[in-house]
Chain A
Amino acid sequence: EAGVAQSPRYKIIEKRQSVAFWCNPISGHATLYWYQQILGQGPKLLIQFQNNGVVDDSQLPKDRFSAERLKGVDSTLKIQPAKLEDSAVYLCASSFQGASNYGYTFGSGTRLTVV
Chain B
Amino acid sequence: AQSVTQPDIHITVSEGASLELRCNYSYGATPYLFWYVQSPGQGLQLLLKYFSGDTLVQGIKGFEAEFKRSQSSFNLRKPSVHWSDAAEYFCAVVGYQAGTALIFGKGTTLSVSS
CB–CB A102/B32 < 8 A: yes
Stretch of A11-19, A37-45, A68-76 contacting B (4+ beta carbons < 8 Å): A37-45
Q: Which residues of A contact B90 (CB under 8 A)?
A: 42-43
Give the interface size class of chain A.
20 to 34
Q: Which residues of A contact B102 (CB under 8 A)?
A: 33, 43, 45, 93, 104
A106 within 8 A of B: yes
A102 CA to B43 CA in the complex, in Å? 19
A47 CA to B110 CA in the complex, in Å? 29
CB–CB A56/B98 < 8 A: yes
Tally chain B residues at the interface, Cβ within 8 Å. Answer: 26
CB–CB B44/A95 < 8 A: no
Give 1 or 0 for each of A67-98: 1 = CB within 8 Å of chain B CB.
00000000000000000000000010101010
CB–CB B51/A100 < 8 A: yes
Output the residue of B34, B44, B52, B97 with the most chain A CB within 10 A: B44
CB–CB A56/B51 < 8 A: no
Query: Would you call the interface of chain A mostly helix, strand, loop, or mixed?
Result: strand
Residue of A nearest to B106 (CB): A42
Q: Which residues of A contact B43 (CB under 8 A)?
A: 91, 106-109
CB–CB A101/B51 < 8 A: yes
Inter-chain contact total with CB atoms closer than 8 Å: 60
Give 1 or 0 for each of B76-114: 1 = CB within 8 Å of chain A CB.
000000000000001010110111111111110000000
CB–CB A91/B44 < 8 A: yes
A7 within 8 A of B: no
Q: Which residues of B contact A41 (CB under 8 A)?
A: 106-107
B46 within 8 A of A: yes
Residue of B nearest to A9 (CB): B41
A31 within 8 A of B: yes
CB–CB B106/A55 < 8 A: no
Name A residues whose Cβ lies closer than 8 Å to a Cβ of B: 31, 33, 40-45, 48, 50, 55-56, 58, 91, 93, 95, 97, 100-102, 104, 106-109
A/B interface sample: 10 pairs, CB < 8 A: A31-B99, A42-B90, A42-B104, A43-B102, A45-B95, A48-B100, A56-B101, A58-B97, A102-B49, A106-B43
